[in-house]
Structure formats: C-alpha cells, structure tokens
A = this chain, B = another copy of it.
C-alpha cells in the first residue's frame, strides 16, 4: 500500500496542509521542513498525480496522436517533443491510430477522457472535425507535418516546397531535363507542397513540365515500386527521378535493383525524408532531410506557450528548412 499525504502528515506530526505546502514549495518552518522530509523518506512517499490532477484540473500531460509510431520521421519528432516537455514537467501520452479513421476517433476520445492539457496531432488529411472537437474543449492543439486548410490551428512542418525545389534544382543543375517525380497522394498537403517545389524549379529554369513525368503514389513502398516502373516504361523515360518520401524510395530502389540499373550512370535519383540507410547504399542516395529535432522543439515550444494562455501569434505556421545531402546518386555535368 502506497503512502499518502495523510500518512506523511501523521508521521511528521503536522497537518496535511503543511505537507502539501512543503511539497509544493510553500513557506514552511525550517523545523517542519525537516520533519516532513524525514517522513517522506521513511515512507518512500510519492505524490499521487491522479489525485493532484483531479484537484488542480491539470494533468501535466499532453497527448500525441500519430498515425503510426513505426516511422522514423514520427518517432524522431516525438522523441524530441517528449524531451523538451519533460524539462517543463510534462509527460506525453502517445497514441497510435494505425492509419485507421475509427481508431483515430477512439484514441482521441481516450486522450480527452484522460484530460490531457494539450494535444499534438500528426494528421493525414481529414481531421478537421477532430481538431475542431479539441478546440471546442479549449484544449490547445498543434498539428505537425500537415496543414489543415480552412482551419485556424498552429502547425509545424518542414519547408516541403523549399526542399522539393532544392532537390529538383539539384537535378536540373546536373543538366537533367526530363525529371520524373514520384509524388504523394494529391490530397495531402505535404505532397502538394513537394510537387509545387518541383513545378517552381521547372519554371525558374525554363524547363517545360511533362504530365507523363508526374506519377502519384500513396506514400507506400508498393506505390513507389509501381510508379518507378511506370516512369521507366515511358517511351522516353526520365533521366532523373525525385522520390518524395521514405517508403516510396524503398519501393523505387527495389525496382532499380530488379531492373539491374546502375545509379547514377543510367539514372539519377534523389529522395525526400530521413533515410538511415542512404549513406550505405552504393552509391549513397542523395536526400533532402527534414529537420526532425527542430520540428519537435518548435512543437513543444508552441504547445507550452498555448497552455500558458499565450495566444499572441495564433495561428502560428512554422516551416523549417530542410537539408540537401549531396552524395553519389546524382550524375551529369554540373552547370552554373
């Protein structure tokens, strides 16, 4: 049976109120401080956060609603959020909805029932209702890696357009004119932004866009594989391909192997996302990396501010710079 504040008070010979004040850093006679601390030690007392939460109406917990916890992007960001929040005395309740709409609702419900003080959500597409539900309860919410259009909500994401622009530009500068893109689902904000970066780079360098060079995948390995083959089966295949996320890159590289193609001689390739294995591929894969740490830090910072009722810059949209890692998967003469 765990010790309670009452037991501590009795052992120390003071009132419960005094113990509470001591524990929360209030003014207590030096003499009593010692007695209370002795009792705490003797009983190995630990405050019951459940009771505290009920009384204070604050759980010091923020919920994180993620589509999956098996993606390095997501866990990297979450890990950083956790770390930052921990410093400020907050815990995180992470729930994973396995890309399933129903489960997502249930999981959000759980977070709400547990009275989390704030929510971080990695939306996929249609969670406007969810976000509104949360806002209705006056719970701060920050979205990550996506923007829910037509809704006022803080959001933190990578500069997807900028990153995609940089990737495309890198290919263009290597003299590529026919650049294929394996894009994400047309309804996803990040996918749209990445595509936009690809478009802009073409415009800026006066290269015409070819419809057939744009293939929409589903951010999955299978679709990456399929799109890659579609692009390479064109009458006039691209000389370079930009793959816009991790899983599709795996699929595309599988197809590269199957076709026994040599990178970068036969094809230049550049990817978007965190690729732990990028450096050990032969050749290493050039990649536009997202700033995981900074994203996590920014999310934590914003949600902490909101929980302190600081709404000055609401809604805040933060786009963080990506990093292009140039390695050996892009070939061609460099112009410029």
Would you call B276 and A49 a contact (CB within 8 A)?
no
Which stretch in A88-96, A190-198, A301-309 binds the other chain?
A: A88-96
A69 to B86, CA, bound (A): 15
Query: Which residues on B sit within 8 Å (CB–CB) of A93?
Result: 91, 93
Q: Mark A54-65, 1 if CB is under 8 A from B, else 0.
A: 100001000000
A79 to B99, CA, bound (A): 12
Q: Mark A87-123, 1 if CB is under 8 A from B, else 0.
A: 0000111111010000000110110111100000000
Would you call A46 and B112 a contact (CB within 8 A)?
yes
The answer to whether A21 has its CB under 8 Å from any CB of chain B is no
A86 to B279, CA, bound (A): 38
Would you call A98 and B75 a contact (CB within 8 A)?
no
A49 to B279, CA, bound (A): 47
A210 to chain B, nearest CB (A): 27
Query: Which residues on B sit within 8 Å (CB–CB) of A68?
Result: 79
Known: A91-B114, A112-B46, A113-B46. A69 touches B79 (CB 8 A): yes
Known: A2-B137, A277-B277, A280-B254. A98 touches B115 (CB 8 A): no
Query: Which residues on B sit within 8 Å (CB–CB) of A250?
Result: 276-277, 280
Known: A50-B54, A95-B91, A115-B49. A76 touches B83 (CB 8 A): no
Query: Which residues on B sit within 8 Å (CB–CB) of A110?
Result: 91
A54 to B50, CA, bound (A): 6
Q: Mark A246-257, 1 if CB is under 8 A from B, else 0.
A: 000010011011
Oligomer copy total = 2
Would you call B69 and A113 a contact (CB within 8 A)?
no
The answer to whether A82 has its CB under 8 Å from any CB of chain B is yes
A294 to chain B, nearest CB (A): 16
- Chain A residues close to B by CB (< 8 Å): 2, 46-51, 53-54, 59, 68-70, 72, 75-76, 78-79, 82-83, 86, 91-96, 98, 106-107, 109-110, 112-115, 137, 250, 253-254, 256-257, 276-277, 279-282, 284
22 examples of A-B residue contacts, CB within 8 angstroms: A2-B137, A46-B109, A48-B113, A50-B114, A50-B115, A69-B75, A70-B79, A72-B72, A82-B95, A82-B96, A91-B95, A93-B93, A94-B94, A250-B277, A250-B280, A254-B279, A256-B280, A257-B282, A277-B277, A280-B281, A281-B281, A282-B282
Closest 8 CB pairs of A and B: A277-B277, A253-B280, A49-B113, A50-B53, A49-B114, A69-B75, A94-B94, A50-B54
